[in-house]
Homo-oligomer: A and B are copies of this chain.
Amino acid sequence: MQFTAEQSALLCEILRWRRDVRHFRPDPVPETVLDQLRRTMEFAPSVGNARPWRVIRVRDNTLRAAVRAEFLRCNSLAAAEYDKATQTDYARLKLAGLDEAPEHLAVFTLTDPPEGRRLGRRTMPETLRQSTAMAIHTLWLTARAHNLGLGMVSILDPRRVEAIFDLPEGWEFSAYLCLGTPAFTDDMPLLHRSGWQESRQTIWEDR
Which of A's residues lie within 8 Å of B, judged by CB?
A: 1-3, 7-8, 10-18, 20, 34, 38-45, 47-51, 53-60, 63, 74, 77-78, 81-82, 86, 90, 93, 95, 105, 115-124, 126-127, 129-131, 133-138, 140-142, 144-147, 152, 154-158, 165, 174-175, 185, 187, 189, 191-192, 196-207
Q: How far is it, in angstroms, between the C-alpha of A105 and the C-alpha of B202 when the chains are bound?
A: 13
The smallest beta-carbon distance between A130 and chain B, in angstroms, is: 4
Give the residue of B1, B124, B142 whose beta carbon is less than 8 angstroms from that of A154: B124
Q: How far is it, in angstroms, between the C-alpha of A197 and the C-alpha of B39 when the chains are bound?
A: 19
Q: Can you report 13 A-B residue pairs in the complex whose CB atoms are below 8 A from each other?
A: A18-B43, A42-B201, A48-B196, A49-B199, A56-B205, A56-B207, A115-B197, A119-B197, A122-B155, A123-B154, A126-B129, A129-B133, A141-B141
If A129-B126, A129-B133, A133-B134 touch, does A205 touch B49 (CB 8 Å cutoff)? no
Whether the Cβ atoms of B156 and A124 lie closer than 8 Å is: yes
B residues less than 8 Å from A93 (CB atoms): 119
B residues less than 8 Å from A59 (CB atoms): 206-207
The smallest beta-carbon distance between A152 and chain B, in angstroms, is: 7
Q: How far is it, in angstroms, between the C-alpha of A162 and the C-alpha of B142 when the chains are bound?
A: 34
Not counting A55-B203, A93-B119, A130-B175, a sample of 12 additional A-B residue pairs whose C-beta atoms are within 8 angstroms of each other reads: A1-B185, A7-B14, A11-B14, A18-B43, A48-B197, A49-B198, A57-B206, A130-B174, A133-B133, A133-B137, A134-B134, A135-B202
